[in-house]
């Protein structure tokens, strides 16, 4: 290894720390008695935090591509690195509530770290082959995590997820093959040059296939069917991880593809992604309307959120507003979505909205934080997602997709219906109800029967922190954007 | 800095209320009253120190108490606030109405701590919207008022409150998103890519593209029209008012509706002068239709609160008539258009005071008899003379009797608009007649004749010795009494100051005109570009 490669390897320090955390955690877990596996959790969290710090210090560096252009390190990668690492750390803490003392506790943390690593690789991939490898690395740990509990719902979820993933993986590889056939290259920069002159059918198959694979990881329509089943089949903590972290990388990967190699392709990839975005937000919202189960509701809400994220992907090559919009929305989405799942995890026994409200009935602050988080998902100011939505709408309009902006605005209103159902139940219904239903006989017609009226401490803390972070990221958007995106 | 304190002082008070769970309900309301009073005192101080100046200050440069901080530099959105002749009257109105609501709610018994915190939050949001000089900041506060009011209606309303609250939220949220889309259009249409209202007004975007400018105005106008509300976007209003608590209705009608009209005069007119001129006739027509529709539908109501709600549609119609007339540059001179604009702003303040008082008075009816139905009440002048007198003053003020603030406002609107839009103005004057008729009719039903007071449920239970004995009687005819308790101390202390202010503004209009006129003249000049 010569000096140059050493420097290149150093540029991957955040990823290396994640990898070291995964391997080190696995080894440590092997030599640790089962009762004390909490120390593996500490290693995992430390690795995530270390990775985030390393990524943050590398953020101001100019953009570069290392290892012969296969691994791109720029602002997008940097923000995804930080967000993924922090989100994984929080998810590990969240998960500890349900997997602590579990025979395979160490494995859970290690799998989460590996999936995070794969996600960062997805975001950084500047080469189709690396994209495939990253896809696999980001997928396989999640299949195992989805079925971690080994119960009926979890097994079904894992199987569905795996089948869907295998199918999308094949499509992705088919697409990559087609692109290689059409252009004879796999690197994004050379692909961008060769693709406009390539045979149109091959290019079309290639673009479609690759986008299908990425859309699967992002959980976008039409390959979103795994999302509700997996989300409802696992614990809330795992669901938080699966619906947050891989999406970050997948959206960033799609953004990179659209910004460079597919920008001038003979098929209108931009329009294709715009249609995917429109379908995702609309179908996600429509499906969420009738959900009474909190996890399924959130699952469809993540599908619709991907729609908004794909809006900015669609205009990736068309406006300079796209990169800031992507980073803001990604960070805001990660914080808000984890917060929403933490709210579910705070009342682990509750499955439906009425169960949930009954379980937290006497915790007004919990409801306040939930309201902040859910209004954040709607995109109400001054939360982080609002700033993200503002930036995304501006970018999409600037990229000559006004119809998409109007549709997104309509969808935002539609999303109110189901978020408000939860908000109203939490804020209005329950705080008025306890004197009547809570204190009375437990045999009443209310949903409280059989639900343990207990909230978990750690998820509650995560929920509050996420709510505060959502507000801080929104109100302080100028400050952190100035750091993340020096003009 | 002072302005920032004024805006966020209520929010801080709300935080204190939430953070002190041991605080008793009464103490929470007292803290609310105190915070609102201090805030109003600060606004009064600002008014005292405010110098309108001879130059068109504010709209295009040099507002008083200005603060301009970067917020989201990538899109040039900032924390830019300031006060000029357009916003100062509305800031003061906000302070007055919220203080009145605080005093009125002294005896609120249903979760008073959250109630007080929510209203304080709403006050911050309203003050922030009026003080904002940045489109995004405006939108942030604008949206927060929706959220706050939603919880007020859903949590403390009566009747079908949840449904009305949802309807309110959905309608106004649709409006606010249209507004946001319009703002993004302004941002992308301008050459300098900024959300700063002052910069945009100084150098209007989309000046050379009538189609794009018109579309952006449609989006902004739609958003503001839902909020104002103008026909045909007013259908959320009666429901929300009927089911909201009295103080919530007072704030909703007195303050939140002004956000819409204020948006027209602050954003639509100076920033899109070209499009506003082109489409001014639409605003005039929308205004006149709202005037007539509101008046005639109010005439048909049998529910006091719904009636007052529809008169709000009517009154906001006058505002739009005035603002639309200000955009008709060709047929009217500057003087007439300035008078119309001044009248529109005057009407906002006047309507805030009078409708606030009317809704609080209707809240008194609810607290005595748990019904708003006109038929269930009668002859109240005898048992409750103070209530009757207050209601009469508020109603006469609302129908535009000379000597009260509503007259000054409507007179100026008509004077200013007559030259530009004679037919529309004459039609709008018909609206005054209908409003006069409906208020007189309502006063006659409520105050004169035999005294009829519905018994509320508690009273009925207390009076009836056998529960089943009265069942047959109530089935055919609701039981009534002939006594009604007159205004109590806190009700008196909240409603009378609003009416006194309305009288003061009716007798000494210069107090307000001195502040409004320079700013209105500036807006008129900007529109004429």
The pLDDT of residue B55: 53
Rounded CA gap, B361 and B124, in Å? 25
* Residue listed under structure tokens 């119309």: B340
The pLDDT of residue B464: 40
Rounded CA gap, B259 and A463, in Å? 33
- Residues from chain B that touch A405, judged by Cβ atoms under 8 A, are 181, 184
Indicate the helix (H) or strand (E) that contains A65: strand A64-66
Q: What is the largest CA-CA distance in chain A?
A: 76
At residue A24 the predicted structure's pLDDT band, cuts being 50, 70 and 90, is: very high
Q: What percent of chain B has pLDDT over 70?
A: 93
A457, A346 contact by CB (below 8 A)? no
CA distance A200 to chain B (A): 35
B140, B195 contact by CB (below 8 A)? no
B29-33: list long-range contacts, CB under 8 Å, 24+ apart: B29/B102, B29/B105, B29/B106, B29/B108, B29/B112, B29/B115, B29/B116, B30/B106, B31/B116, B32/B102, B32/B105, B32/B116, B32/B119, B32/B120, B33/B99, B33/B102, B33/B103, B33/B106
pLDDT of A441 strictly over 80: no
Burial of B475 (0-12, 13-18, 19+ CB in 10 A): exposed
The pLDDT of residue B466: 41
> Which member of A321, A381, A477 has the closest CB to residue B144?
A381
Average pLDDT over residues A75-83: 92
> Which member of A398, A416, A477 has the closest CB to residue B72?
A477
The pLDDT of residue A436: 35
Least confident window among A87-101, A143-157, B185-199, B464-478: B464-478
pLDDT of A428 strictly over 90: no
pLDDT of A446 strictly over 80: no
Average pLDDT over residues A88-111: 88
At residue A433 the predicted structure's pLDDT band, cuts being 50, 70 and 90, is: very low
A96, A113 contact by CB (below 8 A)? no
Integer CA distances (angstroms), A86 to A18, A55, A69, A71, A92, in order:
11, 11, 27, 21, 10
At residue A89 the predicted structure's pLDDT band, cuts being 50, 70 and 90, is: very high
What's chain A's average pLDDT? Answer: 86
A98, A348 contact by CB (below 8 A)? yes
* Core vs surface per residue A284-323: b (16+ CB within 10 A) or e: bbebbeebebbbbbbbbbbbbbbbbbbbbbbbbbbbebbb
Domain map (residue ranges) of chain B? 2-527
The pLDDT of residue A415: 87
- Residues from chain B that touch A390, judged by Cβ atoms under 8 A, are 72, 75, 77, 136, 180, 184
- CB contact under 8 Å between A393 and B180, yes or no, is yes
pLDDT of A210 strictly over 50: yes
Given 3-state DSSP classes, what are the helix, strand and coil percentages for chain B, each rounded to the nearest 5? 75, 5, 20
- CB contact under 8 Å between B72 and A398, yes or no, is no
- CB contact under 8 Å between A427 and B155, yes or no, is yes
Stated length of chain A: 487
> Which member of A427, A428, A482 has the closest CB to residue B73?
A482
Rounded CA gap, B95 and B81, in Å? 17
Rounded CA gap, B265 and B527, in Å? 10
Interface test with B, best of A79, A324, A394, A429 (most B CBs within 10 A): A394
Average pLDDT over residues A75-96: 92
pLDDT of B354 strictly over 90: yes
Average pLDDT over residues B16-24: 82
DSSP-derived secondary structure letter, A33: -
What count of Cα atoms within 13 Å lies in the side-chain half-sphere of residue A402?
Answer: 11
Q: What are phi and psi of A37, to 5 degrees?
A: -70, 0
Integer CA distances (angstroms), A261 to A79, A270, A392, in order:
21, 12, 22
Rounded CA gap, B38 and A403, in Å? 48
The pLDDT of residue B60: 58
B165: its two tokens: 């609250």
Least confident window among A187-201, B83-97, B324-338, B436-450: B324-338
DSSP B111-176: SHHHHHHHHHHHHHHHHHHHHB-BHHHHHHHHHHHHHHHHHHHHHH--SSHHHHHHHHHHHHHHHH
Rounded CA gap, B489 and A200, in Å? 82
Rounded CA gap, A28 and B471, in Å? 78
- CB contact under 8 Å between B181 and A424, yes or no, is no
What's chain B's average pLDDT? Answer: 85
pLDDT of B348 strictly over 60: yes
Q: What is the largest CA-CA distance in chain B?
A: 78
For B2, other C-beta atoms within 10 Å of its C-beta total 15
Q: Give residue-wise pLDDT tens across range A287-309.
A: 998 888 899 999 999 999 999 99
Contacts of B11 (CB under 8 A, 6+ apart): B120, B121, B124
Least confident window among A246-255, A391-400, B125-134, B247-256: A391-400
At residue A437 the predicted structure's pLDDT band, cuts being 50, 70 and 90, is: very low
Average pLDDT over residues B52-69: 67
User: Chain A residue closest to B173 (CA)?
Assistant: A413
> Which member of B70, B165, B184 has the closest CB to residue A394?
B184
B248, B257 contact by CB (below 8 A)? no
Q: Give residue-wise pLDDT tens across range B423-436.
A: 999 999 888 899 99
B218: its two tokens: 């449609």
Q: Give residue-wise pLDDT tens across range B68-116.
A: 888 777 777 888 888 888 889 999 999 999 999 999 988 888 888 888 9
Rounded CA gap, A6 and B470, in Å? 94
Alpha-helix runs per DSSP H in A315-378 = 322-346, 353-359, 364-378
The pLDDT of residue A432: 42
Least confident window among B40-49, B154-163, B179-188: B154-163
The pLDDT of residue A246: 93
pLDDT of B462 strictly over 50: no
- CB contact under 8 Å between A428 and B154, yes or no, is yes
For B37, other C-beta atoms within 10 Å of its C-beta total 15
Between B21 and A167, name the one with better pLDDT.
A167
At residue B52 the predicted structure's pLDDT band, cuts being 50, 70 and 90, is: low
User: Chain B residue closest to A478 (CA)?
Assistant: B72
The pLDDT of residue B497: 92
The pLDDT of residue B479: 62
pLDDT of A45 strictly over 70: yes
Rounded CA gap, A158 and A231, in Å? 10
Handedness of CA A266, A269, A270, A276 (dihedral sign): positive
Indicate the helix (H) or strand (E) that contains B232: none
pLDDT of B24 strictly over 70: yes
**ipTM more than 0.95?**
no
Collect all residues from A whose CB is shorter than 8 A from any CB in B.
321, 324, 364, 368, 375, 380-382, 386-387, 390-391, 393-394, 397-398, 405-406, 409-410, 412-413, 416-417, 420, 424, 427-428, 431-432, 477-478, 481-482, 485, 487
Q: What percent of chain A has pLDDT over 70?
A: 93
In the beta sheet, which residues pair with residue B196? B134
Of B92-101, B413-422, B461-470, highest mean pLDDT: B92-101
pLDDT of A464 strictly over 60: yes
Q: Give residue-wise pLDDT tens across range A270-282.
A: 999 999 999 999 9
- CB contact under 8 Å between B73 and A478, yes or no, is yes
Q: Give residue-wise pLDDT tens across range A169-191.
A: 999 999 999 999 999 888 998 99
B262, B251 contact by CB (below 8 A)? no
Question: Radius of gyration over alpha carbons of chain A, in Å?
Answer: 22
- Residues from chain A that touch B184, judged by Cβ atoms under 8 A, are 390, 393-394, 397, 405
What count of Cα atoms within 13 Å lies in the side-chain half-sphere of residue B455?
Answer: 16
Q: What are phi and psi of B450, to 5 degrees?
A: -70, 145
Nearest to A390 by CA among B44, B1, B232, B74: B74
C-alpha dihedral, A251 to A256 to A257 to A261, nearest 10°: 170
For A93, other C-beta atoms within 10 Å of its C-beta total 19
Interface test with B, best of A285, A319, A380 (most B CBs within 10 A): A380
Apex CA B151: angle with CA B148 and CA B154, to 5°? 150
Indicate the helix (H) or strand (E) that contains A169: helix A152-183
pLDDT of A23 strictly over 90: yes
Rounded CA gap, A304 and A377, in Å? 10
B179: its two tokens: 């507004």
- CB contact under 8 Å between A420 and B174, yes or no, is no
C-alpha dihedral, A256 to A257 to A261 to A265, nearest 10°: -140
pLDDT of B467 strictly over 70: no
Apex CA B78: angle with CA B341 and CA A259, to 5°? 120
The pLDDT of residue B189: 84
The pLDDT of residue B468: 43
The pLDDT of residue A3: 61
* Residue listed under structure tokens 């915190």: B117
Beta strands in A67-181 (DSSP E): 71-73
Nearest to B143 by CA among A329, A331, A421, A385: A385
Rounded CA gap, B175 and B81, in Å? 23
At residue A99 the predicted structure's pLDDT band, cuts being 50, 70 and 90, is: confident
Contacts of A151 (CB under 8 A, 6+ apart): none
- Residues from chain B that touch A394, judged by Cβ atoms under 8 A, are 75, 184, 187-188
pLDDT of A165 strictly over 90: yes
Integer CA distances (angstroms), B224 to A435, B93, B262, B319, B349, in order:
41, 19, 9, 13, 18
Average pLDDT over residues A379-398: 87
């Amino acid at each position: 290894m010569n000096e140059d490669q050493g420097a290149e390897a150093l540029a991957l320090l955040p990823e290396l720390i994640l990898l070291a955390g995964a391997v080190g955690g696995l080894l440590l877990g092997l030599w640790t008695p089962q009762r004390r596996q909490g120390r593996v959790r500490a290693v995992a969290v430390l690795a995530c935090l270390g990775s985030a710090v390393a990524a943050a210090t590398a953020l101001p560096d100019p953009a570069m591509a290392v290892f012969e252009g296969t691994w791109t390190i720029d602002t997008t990668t940097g923000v995804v690195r930080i967000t993924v690492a922090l989100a994984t750390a929080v998810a590990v803490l969240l998960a500890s509530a349900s997997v602590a003392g579990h025979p395979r506790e160490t494995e859970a943390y290690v799998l989460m770290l590996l999936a995070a690593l794969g996600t960062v690789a997805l975001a950084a991939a500047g080469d189709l082959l690396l994209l495939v490898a990253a896809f696999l690395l980001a997928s396989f740990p999640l299949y195992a995590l989805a079925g971690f509990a080994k119960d009926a719902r979890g097994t079904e979820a894992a199987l569905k997820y795996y089948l869907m993933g295998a199918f999308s993986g094949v499509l992705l590889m088919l697409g990559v093959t087609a692109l290689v056939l059409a252009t004879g290259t796999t690197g994004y920069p050379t692909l961008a040059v060769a693709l406009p002159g390539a045979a149109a059918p091959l290019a079309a198959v290639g673009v479609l296939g690759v986008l299908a694979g990425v859309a699967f990881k992002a959980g976008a329509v039409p390959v979103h069917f795994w999302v509700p089943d997996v989300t409802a089949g696992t614990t809330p903590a795992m669901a938080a991880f699966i619906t947050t972290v891989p999406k970050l990388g997948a959206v960033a990967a799609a953004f990179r593809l659209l910004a460079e190699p597919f920008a001038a392709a003979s098929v209108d990839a931009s329009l294709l992604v715009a249609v995917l975005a429109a379908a995702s937000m609309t179908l996600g919202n429509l499906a969420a309307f009738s959900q009474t189960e909190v996890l399924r509701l959130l699952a469809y809400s993540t599908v619709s959120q991907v729609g908004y994220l794909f809006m900015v992907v669609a205009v990736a090559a068309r406006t300079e507003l796209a990169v800031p919009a992507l980073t803001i929305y990604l960070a805001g989405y990660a914080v808000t979505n984890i917060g929403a799942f933490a709210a579910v995890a705070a009342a682990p026994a509750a499955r439906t909205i009425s169960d949930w409200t009954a379980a937290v009935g006497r915790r007004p602050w919990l409801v306040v934080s939930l309201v902040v988080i859910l209004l954040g998902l709607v995109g109400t100011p001054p939360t982080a997602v609002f700033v993200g939505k503002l930036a995304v709408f501006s970018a999409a309009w600037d990229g000559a997709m006004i119809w998409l902006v109007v549709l997104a605005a309509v969808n935002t209103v539609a999303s109110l219906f189901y978020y408000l159902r939860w908000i109203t139940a939490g804020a209005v219904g329950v705080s008025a109800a306890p004197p009547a239903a809570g204190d009375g006989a437990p045999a009443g017609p209310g949903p409280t029967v059989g639900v343990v009226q207990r909230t978990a401490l750690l998820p509650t803390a995560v929920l509050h922190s996420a709510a505060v972070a959502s507000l801080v990221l929104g109100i302080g958007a100028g400050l952190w954007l100035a750091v993340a995106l020096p003009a | 800095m002072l302005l920032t304190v004024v805006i966020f002082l209520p929010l801080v008070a709300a935080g204190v209320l939430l953070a002190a769970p041991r605080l008793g309900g009464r103490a929470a309301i007292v803290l609310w009253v105190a915070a609102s009073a201090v805030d109003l005192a600060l606004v009064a101080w600002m008014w005292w120190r405010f110098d309108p100046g001879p130059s068109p200050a504010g709209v295009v440069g040099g507002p008083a108490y200005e603060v301009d901080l970067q917020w989201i530099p990538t899109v040039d959105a900032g924390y830019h606030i300031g006060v000029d002749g357009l916003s100062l009257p509305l800031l003061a109105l906000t302070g007055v109405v919220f203080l009145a609501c605080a005093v009125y709610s002294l005896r609120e018994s249903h979760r008073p701590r959250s109630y007080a915190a929510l209203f304080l939050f709403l006050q911050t949001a309203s003050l922030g919207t009026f003080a904002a000089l940045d489109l995004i900041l405006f939108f942030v506060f604008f949206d927060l008022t929706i959220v706050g009011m939603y919880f007020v209606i859903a949590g403390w309303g009566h009747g079908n409150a949840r449904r009305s609250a949802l309807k309110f939220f959905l309608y106004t949220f649709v409006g606010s998103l249209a507004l946001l889309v319009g703002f993004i259009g302004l941002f992308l249409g301008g050459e300098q890519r900024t959300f700063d209202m002052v910069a945009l007004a100084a150098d209007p975007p989309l000046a050379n593209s009538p189609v794009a400018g018109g579309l952006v105005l449609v989006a902004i106008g739609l958003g503001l029209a839902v909020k104002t509300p103008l026909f045909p976007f007013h259908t959320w209003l009666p429901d929300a008012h009927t089911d909201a608590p009295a103080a919530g209705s007072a704030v909703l009608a007195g303050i939140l509706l002004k956000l819409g009209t204020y948006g027209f005069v602050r954003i639509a007119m100076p920033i899109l002068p070209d499009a506003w001129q082109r489409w001014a006739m639409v605003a005039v027509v929308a205004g006149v239709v709202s005037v007539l529709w509101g008046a005639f539908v109010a005439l048909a109501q049998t529910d006091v609160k719904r009636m007052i709600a529809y008169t709000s549609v009517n009154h906001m119609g006058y505002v739009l008539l005035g603002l639309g007339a200000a955009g008709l540059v060709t047929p009217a001179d500057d003087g007439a258009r300035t008078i119309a604009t001044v009248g529109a702003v005057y009407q906002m303040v006047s309507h805030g005071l009078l409708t606030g008082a009317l809704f609080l008075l209707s809240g008194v009816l609810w607290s005595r008899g748990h019904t708003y139905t006109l038929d269930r009440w009668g002859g109240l002048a005898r048992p409750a003379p103070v209530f009757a007198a207050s209601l009469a003053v508020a109603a006469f003020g609302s129908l535009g009797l000379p000597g009260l603030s509503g007259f000054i406002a409507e007179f100026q609107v008509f004077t200013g608009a007559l030259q530009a839009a004679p037919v529309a103005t004459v039609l709008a004057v018909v609206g005054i007649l209908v409003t006069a008729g409906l208020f007189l009719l309502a006063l006659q039903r409520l105050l004169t004749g035999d005294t009829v007071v519905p018994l509320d449920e508690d009273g009925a239970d207390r009076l009836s010795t056998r529960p089943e004995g009265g069942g047959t009687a109530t089935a055919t005819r609701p039981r009534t009494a002939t006594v009604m308790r007159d205004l109590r101390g806190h009700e008196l202390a909240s409603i009378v100051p609003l009416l006194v202010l309305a009288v003061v503004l009716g007798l000494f209009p210069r107090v307000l005109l001195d502040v409004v006129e320079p700013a209105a003249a500036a807006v008129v000049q900007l529109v004429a570009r």
